[in-house]
Amino acid sequence: MNGPILMRYPPRNRSLKRPNSGRSRNAELGTSRSATTVSLELSGAKIYPGKGIRFVRSDSQVFLFANSKCKQYFHNRLKPAKLIWTAMYRKQHKKDIHAEAVKKRHCSTKKPYSRSIVGATLEVIQKTQSEKPEVCDAAREAALREELKVDLFSLNREIKERVKKTKDEKKA
C-alpha cells in the first residue's frame, strides 16, 4: 500500500458559507436541539430526537415508533396492554413498581391525652396508673382467688346435685 490513496468522494469545499452561517436550522425554526426524549405510542419506551419512524394519520395525528416491530403492531391494531414487553402491560401487571416514584404517606403522630371512660372517671384512671406494681399484683392475685372460690363453690354445688339425682334414681 505504498501507492496513492484513492478517495471515493472528493473533499468538500469548506470555504463556501451557507446563508445562515453560525446558526443551526433548529435555532432558525425556534426549536432547541437538546436531547429530550419522547415517549412512544405503542411501546412506551423513550426515544431520542432524530430516531424512530414517524407516522402521520389522515386526521393529522402524529405517531412515533421506535422500530418497524412497533409500527407493525400498531398498524395491525394490537393492543399494547396485551404485549408483554410494552410499558402499558408492565404498568397494568404491577411490574417495575420500584422504578416509579411512590407517593410518601404522611403519618400524623397521635399525641397521648387522658380522658374519662364510660366505666371510670379520670381520677380513678390516674389513681390506678400511679399505683405501684406490687400493689397491683397483690390485687390481681386476690381477684383470682375470689374467682377460684366462686368456681369451686359452683363446682361443689353441681357435684352434690348429680349425686342427689343418682340417689333418687336408685330409690325409684
| 8 A C-beta contact, residue 63 and residue 55 | yes
User: Residue 133 to residues 24, 114, 143, 149: CA-CA distances in angstroms?
Assistant: 85, 20, 15, 24
The pLDDT tens digits for 117-145 are: 888 888 888 888 888 888 888 888 888 88
User: How does strand 46-47 pair with strand 62-65?
Assistant: unpaired
Q: Which has the closest alpha carbon to 33: 23, 18, 19, 43?
A: 23
The pLDDT tens digits for 55-103 are: 999 999 988 888 899 899 999 999 988 989 888 898 888 887 665 556 6
The pLDDT tens digits for 153-165 are: 777 778 888 888 8
Residue 31: which pLDDT band, with cuts at 50, 70 and 90? very low
Whether 30 shows a pLDDT value over 50: the answer reads no
Cell digits of residue 14: 469548506
